[in-house]
Amino acid sequence: MSTFDDPFDSDRNLQAGCVCGQHRSALEHEQAASALRCEPIESEDKRYEGVVASAVMRAMFPQDVARRAFLKSVGASTALAALSQFFPLKTATEVFAATGTPEKKDLKVGFIPITCATPIIMAAPLGFYAKHGLNVEVVKTAGWAVVRDKTINKEYDAAHMLAPMPIAISLGLGSSAIPFAVPAIENINGQGITLAMKHKDKRDPKDWKGMKFAIPFDYSMHNYLLRYYLAEHGIDPDTDVQLRSVPPPEMVANLRADNIDGFLAPDNICQRAIYDGVGFMHILSKEIWDGHPCCSFAASREFITTAPNSFAALTRAIVDATAYASKAENRKQIAEAIAPANYINAPVTVLEQVLTGTYADGLGGVKTDAKRVDFDPFPWQSFAVWMLTQMKRWGQIKGEVDYKTIAEQVYLATDTKKLMTEMGLSPPASAYKSFAVMGKTFDPAKPEDYVASFKIRKGA
């Protein structure tokens, strides 16, 4: 007998042997069908329902004879209704389905060696992937474009991407259009504007005309935040300064060689510049927008549909790791776990300063900000809408933008919410929230008005 057969068929022996499809009368078949299928099962959910109901029935009637007698006397649908009264079959089924066996256990996940990838990386040495039944190899990758290509080419099953990248890929900006999705945000905050030592008296952005800045990628929060910051201070990022896409590790070397004046970069790079004495922290990105997303955990829609259980397990592992990383007391241990050459490959002191938030600012002071970087997995769809407004603002996308639809397709808030609830976490009720960037409130319901409200923008 298969576990997936109808437990409400009184003729069936739950202990052994299958009698599926052998109903005595059409009526009984009808009853059974309306209650729970016994024909080949079409959907995963139905199958799980069967398994759970079987287990419950077995628990209630350890003696098969008694179960049969009970079913004969009341009928399958009544039994089901009665059972549902006092046992939450639906919830039990959901919980069971959530831990379905992964279709694919050995997975490859790409990452860029920066502290934003902390949950993705630490999940390997600290055993979060293993805990959720996966054998994940985290592979260090040379740059954002390579991560994108390798994930599109299916060399990676999922990857660490900058939060706007899955949106850009889904829209076909800078690559062919392939539907991607974000089940979890990696980190919030955790970036900074670092300037070369020679600019230590030039702290007002109004004096920055003609300077050269590095950003990690065109489709990055770094690009949008730096542009936003400059524009708020009256500097047009397209005409008054030069913005260059530079891979993070080359930023420090370029700063030392005087090729750039500063950068808005992911962390451990900012702190590394300070550690090596070539730059100082102008501001943390947190001061531009407290709680901004930075990097995301992304996978293609194809992977999600072909291996839904693997994907769910992966998401659970990431959410789990993110929850662990969000606790301040764990940060030192994490810094040590991710520092070796196999992972980030950076001095432990640097990672500790980033993760614990007690850091040298490069000007001789020690600052403390426990929220310098934080970890919160929930993929707010309003984040996606904001990124789309900035893409529109800076001419990366043109014409009509269907903000809400795109955000909902790419940022899987509903699915993650469900997972988080199952894991005993408390996700927010709505996927949209309003927030303020440099004191200006963003209303996710009115993205067009928001774009139009900026004086400095491309083609304005």
- CB of residue 352 vs another protein: minimum separation in angstroms? 9
- Give the single-character DSSP code of 395: T
Distance, CA of 451 to CA of 453 (rounded, Å): 5
Considering only 72, 90, 154, 200, the residue that binds another protein (CB under 8 A) is 154
Would you say 278 or 294 has its CB closer to another protein? 278
Considering only 346, 391, 401, 406, the residue that binds another protein (CB under 8 A) is 346
Would you say 363 or 460 has its CB closer to another protein? 363
Which residues from 244-273 bind another protein, rule CB under 8 A? 249-250, 252-253, 256, 272
Q: Identify which range of 135-143, 220-228, 288-296, 383-391 contacts another protein by CB under 8 A.
A: 135-143
199 sits near another protein (criterion: CB under 8 A): no
129 sits near another protein (criterion: CB under 8 A): no
Chain centre distance of CA 121: 13
> Can you read off the two tokens belonging to residue 149?
């290509």
Neighbours of 43 (CB within 10 A): 9
Q: Identify which range of 20-28, 324-332, 356-364, 445-453 contacts another protein by CB under 8 A.
A: 356-364
Q: Which amino acid is at 100?
A: G
Considering only 277, 430, 434, 443, the residue that binds another protein (CB under 8 A) is 277
373 sits near another protein (criterion: CB under 8 A): no
37 sits near another protein (criterion: CB under 8 A): no
Q: CA torsion sign, 422 to 425 to 429 to 433? A: negative
- Cβ pair 316, 252 in contact under 8 A: no
353 sits near another protein (criterion: CB under 8 A): yes
- Give the single-character DSSP code of 101: P
Considering only 127, 340, 395, 428, the residue that binds another protein (CB under 8 A) is 340
Would you say 277 or 428 has its CB closer to another protein? 277
Would you say 17 or 364 has its CB closer to another protein? 364
Helix (H, G, I), strand (E, B) or coil at 8: coil
Q: Identify which range of 284-292, 316-324, 359-367, 447-455 contacts another protein by CB under 8 A.
A: 359-367
- Give me the residues paired with residue 263 across strands: 194, 214
Considering only 240, 276, 369, 415, the residue that binds another protein (CB under 8 A) is 276
Considering only 342, 421, 430, 434, the residue that binds another protein (CB under 8 A) is 342
Considering only 19, 232, 347, 423, the residue that binds another protein (CB under 8 A) is 347
- CB of residue 347 vs another protein: minimum separation in angstroms? 7
- CB of residue 108 vs another protein: minimum separation in angstroms? 9
Of residues 212, 207, 281, the one with CA closest to residue 244: 212
Dihedral of CA atoms 67, 69, 73, 79 in degrees, nearest 10, equals 0
Considering only 57, 168, 284, 360, the residue that binds another protein (CB under 8 A) is 360
- CB of residue 103 vs another protein: minimum separation in angstroms? 21
Distance, CA of 208 to CA of 213 (rounded, Å): 10
Would you say 121 or 410 has its CB closer to another protein? 121
Distance, CA of 128 to CA of 4 (rounded, Å): 30
Q: CA torsion sign, 76 to 79 to 81 to 87? A: negative
Task: Find where tokens 């829209």 sit.
Answer: 171
- CB of residue 176 vs another protein: minimum separation in angstroms? 9
141 sits near another protein (criterion: CB under 8 A): yes
Residues 224-228: contacts with CB under 8 Å, at least 24 apart: 224/164, 224/387, 224/390, 224/391, 224/394, 225/191, 225/264, 225/285, 225/288, 225/289, 225/292, 226/193, 226/264, 227/390, 227/393, 227/394, 228/288, 228/289, 228/390, 228/437, 228/438
Of residues 425, 301, 445, the one with CA closest to residue 375: 425
369 sits near another protein (criterion: CB under 8 A): no
- CB of residue 277 vs another protein: minimum separation in angstroms? 3
172 sits near another protein (criterion: CB under 8 A): no
150 sits near another protein (criterion: CB under 8 A): yes
Dihedral of CA atoms 132, 409, 384, 378 in degrees, nearest 10, equals -30
113 sits near another protein (criterion: CB under 8 A): yes
Considering only 128, 208, 263, 343, the residue that binds another protein (CB under 8 A) is 343
Considering only 11, 28, 94, 149, the residue that binds another protein (CB under 8 A) is 149
Would you say 195 or 401 has its CB closer to another protein? 195
Chain centre distance of CA 247: 22
Dihedral of CA atoms 349, 351, 353, 355 in degrees, nearest 10, equals -150
Considering only 153, 368, 405, 426, the residue that binds another protein (CB under 8 A) is 153
- What does the binding site for another protein look like in residue numbers (CB under 8 A)? 113, 137-142, 146, 149-150, 153-155, 249-250, 252-253, 256, 272, 274-277, 340-343, 345-347, 349, 353, 358-360, 364-366
